[in-house]
Structure 1
Amino acid sequence: MDVSIIEKEMVIPREAGDDETVVFITSPLNLDFESTMDKFVDVYEKSEESPMVIYKLKFSTLPRHNGRKLKISSPNFETLSYDLNLKAKIPLFLMIIDPNGTIGLTCFQEYRNKGNKLYLDGLYEDAKVEYQNALACDDGPEESDIAQKMEDVYNCTTSKRKADELFNDKSWIDAKHEYEKTLALNANDTHCQNRIDQCNEYVGETPRQIKGKIVDNEGNPLIGVKIEAEYLKVNKKGQIETDKNGSPKKGYKSVGTTNPDGTYAITVLNKSKFLKFSKGNVLSQEAYYYSGTTVEITNDAMDIALSGKVTIKGVSDGFVEVTKVISEGTSDIKKELK
């Protein structure tokens, strides 16, 4: 039997000399009972309080209370074997229910529950039919939440349909926005969530954090190194721009600079495959500059070394280039004419 049992223990005054143990069972199902310790189970009272049936059972095998298994059966369900932990003169309350919530309910409750399940599964048109069936039931309450649920169905259907159209048109950003409208009403809609993940993948909006340190070739930290990340160019409609060969157009955007100790921590998009590192010139009588570099993003921790150069003004036949990396305090700089 595919059921759940809720056990409650409560002391109820009993008549003097009454040593029998009583079990009260409520269920929307029609039940039959057997006991492993008794020749029969005395169902001394059965009553109905829609949608539940109340069974009152007695067990007269005394003084043994523990060790008894109660077998509960009902048509179309597997038989349930339940250990009864009984105590003399203390009634035991059990509730046996159908976890699907479709048995023993009123017409209104049954169709409403079916509609709710379909709604959570993202089957909005089917949910709408069940909600309409619930409204047609004669036993429905004067006031219910069906009107609000029908409005939610309409809004989810509208935004989901629009989102699918935008998605098929490759308008990823607008499609994502419409899918988010549906998820705001039904967070269980896996279709919308999966499509949002796809939109993020196509547009490259899934964030990724990368950390590292930038130094010169002698290991000295470099401050103020500009860091740029690759991105896919997207037009105003959210569509990825392509060149004449159909390849996505790419560019670079600034995502940060290094700290005084040369470290950095940046957030890039998952579609960013490359980073650019560059440091501006340091102008004085000798102008120091560092060769920029473009590196592929291979992991979330990347340390980079930049090569440094110096040019000296006033040389008639061109600048003098220093091939040795500049580092503070270095005096043996090798100079070569261009």
Structure 2
Amino acid sequence: MRLERRQNTSRSALVLAPVCAIGFTMLVSGLLVLWAGAPLGRTYALLLQGGFGSVFGWSETLTRAIPLILTGLSATVAFKARLFNIGAEGQLYAGALAAVAVGGLHGGTGIEWPLWVLFPLMMLAAAIAGALLLLGPALMKARLGVDEVVTTLLINFIVLLGVSALLDGVMKDPTAMGWPQSVSLQDGLELGRLIAQTRVHTGLIWGGVLAVLVWLLFKHTVLGFDIRALGANSRAAAFAGVPVTRTVVLVALISGALAGLAGAIEVAGRTSYVTLDMSPGYGYSGIVIAMLAGLHPLGVLAASIFVAGVLVGADTMSRAVGVPTYIADVIVAASLISVLVAALFTQFRLRWK
């Protein structure tokens, strides 16, 4: 048995592939639901209702989707160039800390900055913090051949330990009753509510605009062509004149900056301060979202809403039928695997010998 590349891929195969992937995901997840002793139809109905069946459900889904969009874009940019950035979680926290350092601790300098100056400085600091955190592993890969999967993954743990130390040290809020959290942002630096009486904030607009900009970058710029060429074949790209090291550095800066902005927007839009459990794994979920979207920036928007809806709906489902919320993680993981396998079989066929 071997894989053989198809000469042509029909439109029907492209349409049926995601349908079959979704069906396989529902089948695998359904077996686990039945194993837990819950009614299958009602469980799936509650899952959809919790995430998409009401104004409150949609608002929570969109709120949860905002950081996922940005970390998904971060992974998309990096993976498109075969720079496997597994460190978006650490870059998110670095961006959040930088945002608070500019927007919350600046008062110690004795300078009163106007909000219209302070807000862009806060976002810029977050983007720079995330970008610099990925720059080192990218340079080590480009110059020394060091595996960036290992370095970016290990940096996540270093950053989280650093966050823990800072939240119990110089950045600790003295009014937090001993709770390890940073000082809050200055009043006026929070993002506005996009929908009244909900938690949906204007970070959703930021995510949509950035997705369009990344799509334009890939499709209509020389850098986008270099990124795609590097991802297709780095040796052929170098032979064709693509500046490999420069492209890797720019990809690292863009990818890290997007993850850093995810942290700043999460602070400015939802929490106003940094805590050690601020992110329930948004950086790692961004990898899943990028793959579900097929590394397409606009597809990241749909994939983020899907994953966020599953995670939000799992809470309603768990309370109603007693199925563990971890079933949501199974659905997301099975969706990723099935979509990848379905995409593989649109390009290849099995040949038996």
| TM-score for the superposition, normalised by structure 1 | 0.18
Higher relative contact order, structure no. (Cα contacts within 8 Å, ≥ 6 residues apart): 2
Larger radius of gyration: 1
TM-score, L = length of structure 2: 0.18
